[in-house]
Amino acid sequence: MLISGSREAVRLKQLLDQLADRVNAQAFIENDPISVPHRFSVREDIEISAFFTAIFSWGNRRAIINKSLLLMELMDNSPYQFVLHHSSTDLRRLTTFVHRTFQPDDLLYFIDFLGRHYKENQSLESAFYTGNPQHYDAGTALHSFHYRFFDSVHAPARTRKHVPDPHSGSACKRINMFLRWMVRDDDRNVDFGLWKHIPASGLMIPLDIHVERYARMLGLLTRRQADWKAVTEITYNLRALDPADPARYDYALFGLGAGYVTPAEEFWSPEK
């Protein structure tokens, strides 16, 4: 557990601030899945394309981008209009779409949920908002979203694995990444900052193998399992460094693991 203001915390903050500053830049966008929603300008199109892209985000990043772009093409590159006004013929063209374990039945249910949601709400933010920005609990919000997402009797049981629930222990990496994209707002304009009711201070770290590896090396994570409790531990420690925006350090930890910066050089720099 990091103690805010301690010598260890000051040194670690110096390191992670440097890394985050270097990775959180416009050049990051091109080769990252976040490039897909950056192709759109309408808020709802950004939300929907980002949601699908985040859900697809496991494995090779180029494959994720290509599959996400293919789905956008199948939706006439107007995902908001598609989910609201598609015909049965439009849906048939989606039945050939597959991404790893994400099958046509999953896609059709996602379209069904999004259509129902946007007919009653202006933004997808309301599906993740707990009503209290001063005490935003991401675990409760994601659990509530999971329940809301599958509130239809037509929800396929197989689709549940694509929208995980932190109450079942899942790290919920892809949903946490989606929330980071939608909520964080800074002058770098990599994340979109579209959602104003959910505070950046309440975001949780998207825990993938890159973040896990370097969180352990830097003493941010001691828990053996890479689950929701691990996400909570890392984020708690990152809040000791930046209470207002702990998810900013996703850029630093992911950047180390993905090779955006050189670990040997960076680990020694705080000692100088």
**pLDDT tens for residues 24-66?**
999 999 999 999 999 999 999 999 999 999 999 998 999 999 9
What is the per-residue pLDDT for 234?
A: 98
Q: Which of 199, 203, 202, 183 has the alpha carbon at shortest distance from 191?
A: 183
What is the per-residue pLDDT for 114?
A: 98
Say how far apart CA 9 and CA 11 lie, in whole Å. 5
Q: pLDDT tens digits, residue range 186-221?
A: 999 999 999 999 999 999 999 999 999 999 999 999
Residue 271 — pLDDT band, cuts 50, 70, 90?
very low
pTM: 0.94
Please state which of the ranges 138-147, 151-160, 262-271 shows the lowest mean pLDDT.
Answer: 262-271
| Residue 244 reports pLDDT greater than 70 | yes
What is the per-residue pLDDT for 264?
A: 54
Domain of residue 52, residue span: 7-271
What is the per-residue pLDDT for 1?
A: 67
Rounded mean pLDDT, 6-30:
93
- 177 domain residue, yes or no: yes
- 202 domain residue, yes or no: yes
- 214 domain residue, yes or no: yes
What is the per-residue pLDDT for 263?
A: 63
Residue with tokens 């046509």: 104
Beta-carbon contacts of 74 under 8 Å, excluding residues fewer than 6 positions away, are 93, 94, 97
Tokens describing residue 31 = 């080769």
Q: pLDDT tens digits, residue range 96-138?
A: 999 999 999 999 999 999 999 999 999 999 999 988 878 899 9
Domain count, the chain: 1
- 87 domain residue, yes or no: yes
- 258 domain residue, yes or no: yes
- 1 domain residue, yes or no: no
- 17 domain residue, yes or no: yes
What is the per-residue pLDDT for 33?
A: 98
Alpha helices in the chain (DSSP H): 7-23, 43-55, 61-74, 79-85, 88-92, 104-120, 138-149, 173-183, 209-217, 228-241, 250-258, 263-268
Say how far apart CA 265 and CA 243 lie, in whole Å. 27
- 172 domain residue, yes or no: yes
